[in-house]
């Protein structure tokens, strides 16, 4: 016989106690993994704090002059990053001016124009391009591109020399004998910027392509169904939808361009002059300065180099954070069900 | 449904499926509506050819613009012009804009592709000569001057150095990076958010600054000699935030339904992570790691500051100076000797090959696992594509009528004893 429980007879009804606390192996797991997280936090945060801490004595020694002094003379104890900061921004600007249109066009081609059977291969190729070491791009820029880039620079100076940033001092672009003048146009920030552009291009392109590929199919088809041409569809649907990705990808590329070392070190002949004349020989960037001057630095100058690195890190961090905010705030991902 | 009942025969209350006419001729394949017609293809390729002919005429015969770069630039402009004209012949301004945009976008992609191909081909072409000698792969540069012939010296010390340094970096960063990613995505909480913020911020650390950090702390302050260990740690400091962040991204896309199913079945949290989350994310994690390694192998700047520049084979990372491929290339190029530069290009080819192998490996691992399906099961599912999407069901024609009756598929199961099942 089955007895049914009679409701109300049991006087002692208490809800089962539920604990979210981990026990046994789980507790060990959580603690271990938390420790790993802490170790990584200490390492990565430690690097940042160390850099900031090293910047302090530099601020004491050189004061604000650190940002306005353009020379780097360890013997005379005169160091400053005015020229290298300008150089860093010039090289990065040149790189982005070249890389942005190419990355945008490539991303559009892969996501909208490429035949379907090529698409995956092209995506892999762009990723491969991102994995090509920077020293390879340095060699490519130095030996293959620089002779042509110098000629182009000369042509630009001849025809657009009235623009301040295309001007080159001490060189006559109309000279009859090219060989003696051409060296004034080589080893310039323009040449370095081309090599850096090839490095940052795949990164920007990947971000842009990813955002373009999230464009709602329904909206694209709606545009086509209303009679838009392919370009009309791209202009009115894909580009507005991907605006956040375009800006964010460009800024991520900019963040990488600011920190590039080895290609710049190979191509640019170092000089410490605050200038925006990108076609002219000479210039310097923060990372190339560190790579070139760490060997002969004493303790004070080493911390000055670290401070320069810290400034570079802060600039890169600001650019990257802005990029992340822009990408996240864009419409990307919203409305994909439509 | 476009079902035409058999005329007059059908009794009330019964449904008749239309029968198939076995003698009917095979269906004519639908014309591909999106495909360009022969005319359009002719215009498309003809435009490029006409543009090239015009460009050749202008640069080689009419204007003093010798040189390959000018030819390419003028070619592009001419193709744009011819495109505009041909589009204008058959359409209005909207068509012209469309065609010119398509040409520009294709040309932009072609420029990028040309950049990649030219870099790889250029490096290989300039560096093939030293690679024809076997000693290039089996020898180091001990006692070999920059002007010596290619029959002496090699890159063995660079390759070994690179592998050891990256090995150290991976041994340190892999457990830490993936562990942190697991912590950030599986445990969560306010503290994990702090860790995530810091790790994401540190991905902005320029590689040269990572090298300078190790140089200052380990070599200047602690007096540890320049060595492979220092270089490995410098690469590790650079790679750690990259790998942690990439793994975090991979782990976050593991469907939470899988986690919840595992927990609901009574598995503990660590078992869920170990048996469900990590295996699901394994291809993605492998890709993230290998791409991180490829980046680490090619990075020159942290190594430049920390490893020293040994000309001989060093296998003990704690034993003084070492060398690595990127650094080897850099110092050879800096020496300025033609033979040294040729050697540098050969070393660069080796470096490219290593990166390429790692990259292909990452691609292979990242591919979605193919489920082993027999012919029979494929027939049962009615022909599915690789992602398990039912093509038949997705085909709009299948929705319109029983083009391929499911019964026919089921009738062949179980297979005849003579039928071979792979």
Give the three-class secondary structure for B65: coil
> Tokens in use for B354?
């290593």
Q: Is 80 exceeded by the pLDDT of residue A338? A: no
- CA dist B78 and B291 (Å) reads 41
Confidence of residue A279 (pLDDT cuts 50, 70, 90): confident
Contact A198 B115 (CB under 8 A): yes
Least CB–CB distance from A36: residue in B94, B183, B191? B183
The total number of structural domains in chain A stands at 1
Q: Quick check: is A335 in a domain?
A: no
Closest approach of chain B CAs to the CA of A9, in angstroms?
A: 32
Most B-contacting residue of A18, A23, A36, A115 (CB-CB within 10 A), to test interface: A36
Mean pLDDT for the stretch of residues B3-28: 67
Mutate to test the interface with B, among A115, A118, A135 (most CBs of B within 10 A): A135
Residues B166-187 have pLDDT tens digits of: 999 999 999 999 999 999 988 8
Residue A134: closest CA among A288, A309, A260, A272 = A260
State yes or no: pLDDT of B408 exceeds 50: no
Whether A140 and B118 lie within 8 Å, measured CB to CB: yes
The residue extents of the domains of chain B are 38-131, 156-366, 375-411
Contact B123 A151 (CB under 8 A): no
Residue A17, domain member (yes or no):
no
Q: Do A262 and B326 touch (CB under 8 A)?
A: yes
CB–CB of A332/A242 below 8 Å? yes
pLDDT at B403: 34
Q: In chain A, which residues have their Cβ closer than 8 Å to the Cβ of B324?
A: none
Report chain A residues whose CB lies below 8 A from the CB of B182: 33, 36
CA of B226, closest CA in chain A: separation in Å?
Answer: 12
Out of A122, A137, A294, closest to residue B212 by CB: A294
Closest approach of A4 to chain B, Cα-based (Å): 30
In the predicted structure, residue A180 carries a pLDDT above the cut 50: yes
Q: B230 with B214: CB under 8 angstroms? A: yes
Which chain A residues touch B291 with a CB distance below 8 Å?
127, 131
Picking from B312, B288, B327, the residue whose alpha carbon sits closest to that of residue B165 is: B327
| pLDDT average, residue stretch A221-229 | 92
Name every residue whose Cβ is closer than 8 Å to that of residue B289 and which is 6 or more positions away in sequence.
B170, B174, B177, B243, B247
The band of A331, judged by pLDDT with boundaries at 50, 70 and 90, is low
Specify if A16 maps to a domain: no
Residue B376 pLDDT grade (very low, low, confident, very high; cuts 50, 70, 90): very low
Q: Is the distance from CB of B344 to CB of B332 less than 8 angstroms?
A: yes
- Average pLDDT value over all residues in chain A: 84
Angle at B404 between CA B403 and CA B406, to 5 degrees: 135
Give the ipTM: 0.84
Q: Do A135 and B348 touch (CB under 8 A)?
A: yes
Q: What is the CATH number of the domain that holds A120?
A: 1.10.3720.10
Query: Of A43, A120, A95, A88, whose CA–CA distance to A265 is shortest?
Result: A88
Residue A38 falls within a domain, yes or no? no
Burial B304-338 (b: 16+ CB within 10 A, else e): bbbbbebbebbeebeeebbbbbbbbbbbbbeeeee
In whole angstroms, give the CA distance from residue A323 to residue B3. Answer: 57
Q: Do A142 and B67 touch (CB under 8 A)?
A: no
Give pLDDT tens digits for B299-309.
Answer: 888 888 888 77
More confident residue, B79 or B389: B79
Instruction: Using only the alpha carbons of chain B, give its radius of gyration.
Output: 31
Q: How many CA atoms lie within 13 A of B246 on its CB side?
A: 19
Six-digit token string for B347: 């070393």
Of B249, B245, B200, B183, give the one whose Cα is nearest residue A324: B200
The span from the CA of B163 to the CA of A131, in Å, is 17
Cα A131–chain centre separation? 14
Q: Under DSSP, is residue B29 helix (H, G, I), strand (E, B) or coil?
A: coil
**Which residues of chain B does A144 touch, with a Cβ-Cβ cutoff of 8 Å?**
118-119, 122
Question: Looking at chain A, how many residues does it have?
Answer: 338
Using pLDDT thresholds of 50, 70 and 90, give the confidence band for residue B24. Answer: confident
| Residue A334: per-residue pLDDT | 45
Average pLDDT, chain B: 79
3-class secondary-structure state, position A281: strand
Decide if pLDDT at B397 tops 70: no
DSSP for residue A166: G
Contact predicate A275/A84, CB 8 Å: no
Interface test with A, best of B208, B240, B394 (most A CBs within 10 A): B208
The CATH number fitting domain B156-366, selected from 1.10.3720.10, 3.40.50.720, 3.60.21.10, 1.10.620.20: 1.10.3720.10
Per the CB < 8 A criterion, the answer to whether B310 and B141 are in contact is no
Among candidates B356, B358, B316, which has minimal Cα distance to B160?
A: B316
A196 confidence band (pLDDT: 50, 70, 90): very high
* Closest CA relative to residue A138, chosen from A288, A20, A316, A325: A288
- Residues B144 and B347: their CA atoms lie apart, in Å, by 15
Contact B308, B145 (CB under 8 A): no
Cβ distance of B212 and A34 shorter than 8 Å: no
Residue position matching structure tokens 């002919």? B53
- For residue A41, being part of any structural domain is answered with no
Question: DSSP for A180-246?
Answer: HHHGGGSSBHHHHHHHHHHHHHHHHHHHHHHHHHTS-HHHHHHHHHTT--HHHHIIIIIHHHTHHHH
Residue A12 lies in a domain: no
Indicate the pairing of strand A72-73 with strand A78-79: antiparallel
- Does A320 sit within 8 Å of B199, measured CB to CB? no
**Chain A residues lying within 8 Å of B270, measured CB to CB:** 25-26, 28-30
Output A222 or A20, whichever has higher pLDDT: A222
Instruction: Tell me how far apart the alpha carbons of residues B137 and B346 are, in angstroms, rounded to a whole number.
Output: 10
- pLDDT at res. B11: 54
Measured CA distances, A249 to A114, A329, B367 (Å): 21, 13, 25
Provide the pLDDT for residue A176: 66
- Cβ-contact A319, A255 below 8 angstroms: yes
- Using the structure block, give the residue that is written with the tokens 């003696």: A180
- Per residue in B207-221, pLDDT (tens digit) is 888 888 898 888 888
Alpha helix (H) ranges present in B57-155?
A: 68-90, 93-131, 135-138
Non-local (6+) Cβ contacts of A298 within 8 A are A74
In a domain, A61, yes or no: no
Residue A234, phi then psi, degrees to nearest 5: -60, -45
**pLDDT band at residue A272, thresholds of 50, 70 and 90?**
confident
CA distances from A114 to A119, B106, B360 (A): 6, 8, 22
Residue A34: which of B187, B202, B358 has the nearest Cβ? B187
Rounded CA gap, B344 and B352, in Å?
A: 12
C-beta separation of A312 from A261 below 8 A: no
Residue ranges of alpha helices (H) inside A20-115 are: 25-62, 65-68, 82-108
pLDDT of residue B102: 92
* Cα A237 to Cα A217: distance, rounded to the nearest angstrom: 10
- Of the residues A34, A38, A47, A257, the best mutation for testing chain B's interface (the one with the most B CB atoms within 10 Å of its CB) is A47
Radius of gyration of chain A (CA): 28
Cβ <8 Å between A48 and B355: no
Tell me which residue range forms the domain holding A85.
66-329
User: Which chain A residues are Cβ-neighbours of B329 within 8 angstroms?
Assistant: 135, 139
Distance of residue B187 Cα from the nearest chain A Cα, in angstroms: 7
pLDDT in tens, B55-97: 999 888 887 777 787 888 899 999 999 999 998 888 889 989 9
CB pair distance less than 8 Å for A262 and B113: no
**Domain-embedded: residue A168:** yes
Q: How far is B24 from chain A (nearest CA, A)?
A: 34
SS3 A73: strand
Report the alpha-carbon distance of residue B405 to residue B398 in Å, rounded: 9
Angstroms from B119 CA to nearest CA on chain A: 6
Least trusted range by pLDDT, from A37-46, A233-242, B222-231, B377-386: B377-386
What pLDDT is stored for residue B262 in this prediction? 92
Which stretch of A2-6, B235-239, B242-246 has the lowest confidence by average pLDDT?
A: A2-6
- Average pLDDT for A93-118: 93
Q: In terms of residues, how long is chain B? A: 422
Measured CA to CA, the distance from residue A106 to residue B176 in angstroms comes to 36
Confidence of residue B386 (pLDDT cuts 50, 70, 90): very low
CA distances from B73 to A153, B76, B111, B350 (A): 15, 5, 11, 33
Whether A226 shows a pLDDT value over 90: the answer reads yes
Mean pLDDT of B228-236: 90
Check if the beta carbon of residue A160 is closer than 8 Å to that of residue B144: no
- Residue A333's pLDDT band, with cuts at 50, 70 and 90, is very low
Q: Using the beta-carbon criterion (under 8 Å), do A131 and B105 form an inter-chain contact?
A: no
CB contact under 8 A, B191 and A34: yes
Q: Which candidate from B201, B270, B348 shows the least CB-CB separation from A139? A: B348
Q: What pLDDT, on the 0 to 100 scale, is given for residue B390?
A: 37
pLDDT band with cut points at 50, 70 and 90 for residue A9: low
**B27 three-state secondary structure:** coil
* pLDDT tens profile A198-217: 989 988 898 888 888 888 88
User: H-helix or E-strand containing A78?
Assistant: strand A78-79
> Does residue B314 contact residue B161 with C-beta atoms inside 8 Å?
yes
Nearest to A44 among B94, B198, B273 (CB): B198
Q: Which of B69, B209, B348 sits opposite A51 (nearest CB)?
A: B209
B279 alpha-carbon distance from chain centroid: 21
Q: Percent of chain B scored above 90 by pLDDT?
A: 21
* The most confident of A96-100, A313-317, B264-268, by mean pLDDT: A96-100
Give the number of beta-carbon pairs within 8 Å between A and B: 261
Yes or no: say if B357 and B163 are a contact pair by the CB < 8 Å rule: no
């Amino acid at each position: 016989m089955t007895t049914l429980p009679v409701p109300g007879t049991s006087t002692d009804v208490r809800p089962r106690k539920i604990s979210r606390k981990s026990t046994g192996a789980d507790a060990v797991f959580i603690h271990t993994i938390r420790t790993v997280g802490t170790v990584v936090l200490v390492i990565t945060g430690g690097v940042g704090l160390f850099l900031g801490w090293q910047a302090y004595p530099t601020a004491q020694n050189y004061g604000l002059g650190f940002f306005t002094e353009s020379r780097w003379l360890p013997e005379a104890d005169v160091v400053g990053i005015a020229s290298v900061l300008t150089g860093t921004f010039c090289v990065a600007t040149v790189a982005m001016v070249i890389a942005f249109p190419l990355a945008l066009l490539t991303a559009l081609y892969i996501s909208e124009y490429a035949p379907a059977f090529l698409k995956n291969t092209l995506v892999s190729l762009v990723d491969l391009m991102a994995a090509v070491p920077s020293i390879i791009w340095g060699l490519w820029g130095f030996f293959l591109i620089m002779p042509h880039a110098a000629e182009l620079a000369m042509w630009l100076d001849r025809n657009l020399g009235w623009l301040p940033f295309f001007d080159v001092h001490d060189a006559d672009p109309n000279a009859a004998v090219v060989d003696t003048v051409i060296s004034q146009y080589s080893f310039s920030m323009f040449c370095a910027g081309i090599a850096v552009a090839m490095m940052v291009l795949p990164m920007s392109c990947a971000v842009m392509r990813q955002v373009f590929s999230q464009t709602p199919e329904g909206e694209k088809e709606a545009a086509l169904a209303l009679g838009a041409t392919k370009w009309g569809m791209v202009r009115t649907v894909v580009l507005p939808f991907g605006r956040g990705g375009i800006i964010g990808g460009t800024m991520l590329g900019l963040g990488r361009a600011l920190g590039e070392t080895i290609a710049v070190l190979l191509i640019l002949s170092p000089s410490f002059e605050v200038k925006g004349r990108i076609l002219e020989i000479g210039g310097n960037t923060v990372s190339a300065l560190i790579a070139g001057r760490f060997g002969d630095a004493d303790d004070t100058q080493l911390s000055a180099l670290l401070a320069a690195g810290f400034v570079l890190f802060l600039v890169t961090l600001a650019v990257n954070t802005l990029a992340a905010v822009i990408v996240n705030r864009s419409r990307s991902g919203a409305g994909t069900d439509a | 449904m476009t079902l035409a009942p058999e005329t007059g025969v059908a009794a009330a209350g019964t449904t008749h499926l239309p029968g198939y006419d076995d003698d009917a001729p095979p269906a004519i394949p639908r014309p591909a509506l999106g495909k360009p017609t022969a005319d359009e293809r002719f215009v498309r390729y003809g435009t490029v050819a006409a543009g090239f002919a015009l460009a050749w005429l202008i640069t080689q015969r009419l204007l003093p613009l010798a040189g390959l770069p000018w030819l390419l630039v003028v070619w592009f402009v001419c193709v744009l012009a011819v495109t505009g004209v041909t589009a204008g012949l058959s359409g209005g301004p909207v068509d012209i804009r469309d065609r010119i945009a398509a040409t520009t976008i294709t040309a932009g992609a072609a420029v990028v592709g040309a950049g990649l191909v030219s870099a790889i081909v250029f490096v290989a072409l300039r560096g093939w000569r030293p690679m024809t000698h076997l000693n290039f792969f089996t020898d180091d540069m001990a006692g070999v001057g920059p002007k010596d012939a290619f029959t002496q010296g090699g890159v063995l010390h660079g390759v070994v150095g690179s592998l050891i340094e990256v090995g150290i970096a991976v041994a340190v960063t892999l457990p830490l990076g993936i562990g942190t990613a697991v912590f950030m995505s599986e445990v969560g909480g306010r503290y994990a958010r702090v860790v995530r913020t810091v790790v994401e911020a540190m991905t902005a650390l320029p590689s040269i600054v990572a090298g300078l950090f190790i140089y200052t702390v380990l070599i200047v302050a602690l007096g540890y000699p320049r060595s492979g260990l220092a270089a490995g740690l410098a690469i590790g400091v650079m790679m750690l935030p990259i790998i942690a962040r990439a793994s975090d991204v991979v782990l976050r896309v593991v469907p939470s339904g899988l986690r919840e199913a595992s927990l609901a079945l009574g598995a503990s949290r660590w078992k869920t992570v170990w048996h469900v989350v990590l295996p699901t994310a394994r291809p993605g994690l492998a890709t993230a790691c290998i791409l991180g390694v490829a980046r680490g192998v090619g990075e020159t700047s942290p190594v430049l500051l920390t490893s020293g520049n040994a000309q001989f084979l060093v296998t003990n990372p704690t034993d003084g100076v070492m060398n690595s491929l990127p650094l080897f290339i850099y110092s050879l190029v800096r020496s300025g000797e033609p033979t040294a530069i040729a050697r540098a290009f050969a070393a660069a080819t080796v470096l490219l090959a290593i990166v390429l192998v790692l990259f292909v490996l990452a691609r292979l691992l990242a591919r979605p696992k193919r489920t082993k399906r027999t012919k029979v099961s494929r027939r049962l599912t009615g022909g599915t594509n690789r992602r398990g999407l039912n093509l038949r069901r997705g085909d709009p024609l299948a929705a319109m009528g029983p083009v391929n009756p499911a019964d026919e598929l089921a009738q062949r199961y179980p297979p005849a004893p003579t039928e071979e099942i792979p």
